[in-house]
């Protein structure tokens, strides 16, 4: 890493971005959220493509980098390339293979080709989760859920299957479980039963389900603690989260999987069930 850079690595840069996030303009906040949750994409894309993903002009990307002491987009990109070159090499090969498949002249893709690409993308995201899961935060989330009088679940739209799994799994514990599944759009009425000290597990990803955000805001106002499973520390769920568990799922042919999120949710359930069983065993004797 060049000594002229004001940050030792990408993590230090992102820490500065998070610290300065509340003071940013709406446009720069959108860039910050994208940069924070799309590190691998940022390494591969030029300034014009990144600007398009953020919905801003390329000049705004440059202005964002300069706001945090860098010379421009290229220097910001260099931070991420230097920090993640080793991990990103397999993903770059995957991206090239995928484009080659789509652009091949051999006719339509075979179903097995599509399956192999989806599986490869899921494996990449699971490897990233294994590298990046924050053990301390994960432990804090487990302790909150173990101590909670009641556990509430909210996960809408793309995240809905994660909520369904957690509702199924957690009902096997001794904890009262309330699943805000949106049936009849009665979530706000159900939330009247929420009490201070209860814990809500909220799952959502960009562009973030408004139904989930509304439940989280209500629950936080009523004194609940929030365990969020989401893709960004700069997203709207993080604002209310007592504990944020970050997770990024891979995308294939423009469709994002839920492989890593479901793996994290299952890990959370198993860790909570294990702790509860230890407590039960110790008190039984």
Residue 198 is encoded by which pair of tokens? 């209860």
Q: Own/partner pairs for 247-252, CB < 8 Å, 24+ apart?
A: 247/129, 248/37, 248/125, 248/128, 248/129, 249/122, 249/125, 249/205, 250/121, 250/122, 250/124, 250/125, 251/121, 252/98, 252/117, 252/118, 252/120, 252/121
pLDDT at 3 over 80: no
For the entire predicted model, the pTM comes to: 0.70
Residues 6+ apart with CB under 8 A from 27: 56, 60
pLDDT for 284: 59
Distance of CA 152 to the CA centre of its chain: 19
pLDDT for 4: 62
pLDDT at 113 over 70: yes
Mean per-residue pLDDT, 162-180: 93
pLDDT for 40: 73
When computed from its CA atoms, the radius of gyration of the chain, rounded to whole angstroms, is: 21
pLDDT at 205 over 70: yes
Domains plus CATH for the chain?
10-79 (1.10.10.10), 89-132 (no CATH), 135-284 (3.40.50.10490)
Report the range out of 15-19, 36-40, 166-170, 187-191 with the highest average pLDDT. Answer: 166-170
Mean per-residue pLDDT, 240-269: 87
Q: 149 or 254: which carries more pLDDT confidence?
A: 149
Q: Kindly report which listed range (2-16, 20-34, 48-62, 247-261) carries the lowest average pLDDT score.
A: 2-16
Report the range out of 2-6, 84-88, 96-100, 145-149 with the highest average pLDDT. Answer: 145-149
pLDDT in tens, 43-96: 778 899 899 989 999 999 999 999 999 999 988 988 887 765 544 444 445 455
């Amino acid at each position: 890493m060049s000594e002229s850079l004001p940050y030792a690595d990408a993590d230090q840069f992102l820490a500065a971005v998070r610290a300065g996030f509340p003071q940013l303009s709406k446009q720069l906040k959108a860039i910050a959220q994208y940069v924070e949750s799309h590190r691998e994409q940022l390494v591969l894309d030029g300034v014009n493509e990144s600007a398009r993903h953020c919905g801003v002009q390329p000049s705004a990307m440059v202005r964002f980098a300069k706001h945090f002491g860098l010379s421009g987009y290229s220097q910001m990109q260099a931070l991420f390339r230097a920090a993640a070159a080793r991990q990103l090499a397999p993903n770059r090969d995957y991206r090239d293979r995928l484009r080659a498949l789509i652009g091949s002249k051999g006719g339509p893709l075979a179903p097995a080709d599509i399956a192999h690409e989806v599986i490869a993308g899921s494996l990449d995201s699971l490897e990233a989760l294994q590298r990046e899961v924050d053990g301390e935060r994960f432990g804090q989330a487990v302790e909150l859920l173990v101590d909670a009088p009641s556990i509430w679940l909210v996960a809408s739209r793309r995240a809905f299957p994660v909520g369904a799994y957690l509702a199924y799994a957690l009902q096997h514990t001794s904890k009262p479980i309330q699943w805000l599944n949106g049936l009849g759009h009665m979530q706000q009425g159900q939330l009247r039963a929420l009490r201070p000290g209860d814990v809500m597990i909220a799952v959502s990803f960009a562009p973030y389900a408004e139904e989930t955000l509304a439940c989280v805001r209500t629950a936080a106002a009523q004194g609940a603690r929030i365990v969020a499973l989401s893709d960004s520390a700069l997203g709207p769920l993080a604002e209310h989260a007592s504990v944020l568990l970050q997770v990024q799922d891979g995308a294939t042919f423009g469709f994002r999987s839920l492989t890593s999120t479901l793996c994290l949710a299952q890990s959370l359930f198993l860790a909570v069930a294990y702790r509860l069983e230890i407590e039960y065993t110790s008190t039984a004797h």
